[in-house]
Amino acid sequence: MTQFLSLLLNGLSLGAIYALIALGFAVIFKASEVVSFMHGSLLLFGAYAIARLSASLGFWPGVVLGVLATAGVGLLVERVLINRLRGAQVISLAILTIGVDILLVTELTRRIGSDILNVAHPWGGRNVRFGDVGITENRLIAIGVAAVLISAFFAVFKFSDWGVAMRAAAEDGETAALMGIRLGRVSALAWVVAGALAAVAGLFLVGSPTPGVQPGLQAVALRAFPAAILGGLDSTGGALVGGLVIGITETFTAGYENHLLFFGRGFSAVMPYVVMILVLLVRPSGLFGTKELTRV
């Protein structure tokens, strides 16, 4: 029972981080119809920027500047590349982000080299215990921050002008544009939000129990893909649910690995994808995604 609760708590924290990434993914898709395959490298960039900046400027200024820088990269990509291809097919936009991803990852991997950069979190690697259930302080804070950010996001999404504009744009871009909504601005803001969320997720992903900034981080971030797909690409609520489901399943598979040895070691890293494929078999547009209707 102790193990179960401890895994649940840890899974929840991992899921919260995934949800942050998946949320950015969903927002981008909603606002600009782009499936951003560069989200993993955006996260890697965020973690790298935070590590470098906080080493020279101190932790908090480093975090703030790092998050801003990542949001800036998102904005840059949207303004320079995505915005030019408004109306292009989803696949060509996806391929474009793959190209950007290759560039970013290659450059970051080269800069990081073989060493592991560490972010000096003020909370360090301490553990918190609730009775017998333990979790690292980093992951506990991650749950809190993710909860705050996600609620703030949903509030903004529901009540602010930008949120309304974005939902209108996602519903029917043409009509929204006719009503005076500036689609370019909506999409730019979505990329900024997604970049910032990815950087925050990166900040927690490089803290204990995971090691510091290393190129493998991108693979971890990729597991947020299944999270977004599982919930339904165009559903922000789905991203949250998907993130939690993926985080919890992954942690449980890792925790009970000894009972699942017939799948082989390290199966937990594959689990998100297995879950995703199973869900897609039953519901091709994810759990909460809009079903694609075809009108003739």
Partner 1 sequence: MSDTASVDLAQPPASPGSQPVTSAASRRGGRGGRVLTLVLLAAAAAVLLVLPLYVDEFWLRTGFACCGAIIGAIGLNLLVGTTGQLSLAHAFFLAVGAITYVYVSGAPGGTATKIEGLELPPLVGMVLGVVVAGLAGLLFSPIAARLRGIYLGVASLGLVFIGQHLLNTLTAVTGGFNGRTAPKFSLFGFSFSDSNPDLFVAGVPFGESERLWYLGLALALAAYLFARNLLRSRPGRALQTLRDSEVAAAVMGVNVQGYKARVFMVSSMYAGLAGVLYALSIGSVAPESFALDLSVLYLAMIVLGGLGSVGGAVLGAVFVSALPLVFQQYAGSLPFVSEPGQGGVNAGQAARLLYGLAIVLVVLFEPAGLAGLLRRRPRRPTPSAGAPASAPNTPSSPLGQGSPA
Nearest Cα to Cα of residue 129 among 142, 140, 120, 141: 140
Choice from 83, 109, 118, 208 touching partner 1 (CB under 8 A) = 109
- Number of amino acids touching partner 1 (CB under 8 A): 50
The answer to whether residue 9 forms part of the interface with partner 1 (CB under 8 A) is: no
Q: Which residues are 136's β-sheet partners?
A: 127
Contact between 270 and partner 1 (CB under 8 A)?
yes
Residue 268: how many CB atoms within 10 A of its CB? 19
CB of 6 to partner 1, least distance (A): 25
- Is 115 a binding residue for partner 1 by CB under 8 A? The answer is no
Q: At its nearest, how many Å lie between partner 1 and the CB of residue 155? A: 29
CA 106 to chain centre: 20
Q: Which of 8, 65, 76, 280 binds partner 1 (CB under 8 A)?
A: 280
Shortest Å distance, C-beta 216 to partner 1 = 12
* Binder among 131, 161, 264, 293 for partner 1 (CB under 8 A): 264
Cα 67 from Cα 63, distance rounded (Å): 6
Please tell me whether residue 211 binds partner 1 under the rule CB under 8 A: no
Residues 156-175 that bind partner 1 (CB under 8 A): 174
- Is 216 an interacting residue with respect to partner 1 (CB under 8 A)? no
8 vs 177, which CB is nearer to partner 1? 177
Q: Cβ neighbours of residue 140 under 8 Å, at least 6 residues apart?
A: 13, 128
Report yes or no: 217 and 127 within 8 Å, Cβ to Cβ: no
Nearest approach, Cβ of residue 84 and partner 1 (Å): 6
Task: Supply 52's token pair.
Answer: 């470098």
At residue 85's C-alpha, the angle toward residues 80 and 88, to 5°, is: 155
* Nearest distance in Å: CB 34, partner 1: 10
Stretch that binds partner 1, among 14-22, 63-71, 179-187, 278-286 (CB under 8 A): 278-286
Q: Which residues pair with 64 in a beta bridge?
A: none
Cα angle: 129, vertex 133, 136; to 5 degrees:
55
Contacting partner 1 within 62-101 (CB under 8 A): 81, 84-92, 94-96, 98-101
SS3 state of residue 151:
helix
**Residues 205 and 44 sit within 8 Å (Cβ to Cβ):** no
What amino acid occupies position 275?
V
Regarding 258 and contact with partner 1 (CB under 8 A), the answer is no
Return the closest-CA partner of residue 255 out of 123, 127, 134, 140.
134
- For the bound state, the minimum distance from the C-beta of residue 123 to partner 1, rounded and expressed in Å, comes to 32
Residues in the chain: 296
Phi first, then psi: give them for residue 39, nearest 5 degrees: -65, -35
Binder among 28, 43, 233, 245 for partner 1 (CB under 8 A): 233
Q: Which residues bind partner 1 (CB under 8 A)?
A: 35, 81, 84-92, 94-96, 98-103, 106-107, 109-110, 174, 222, 225-226, 229, 233, 263-267, 269-270, 272-274, 276-277, 280-281, 284-286, 292, 294, 296
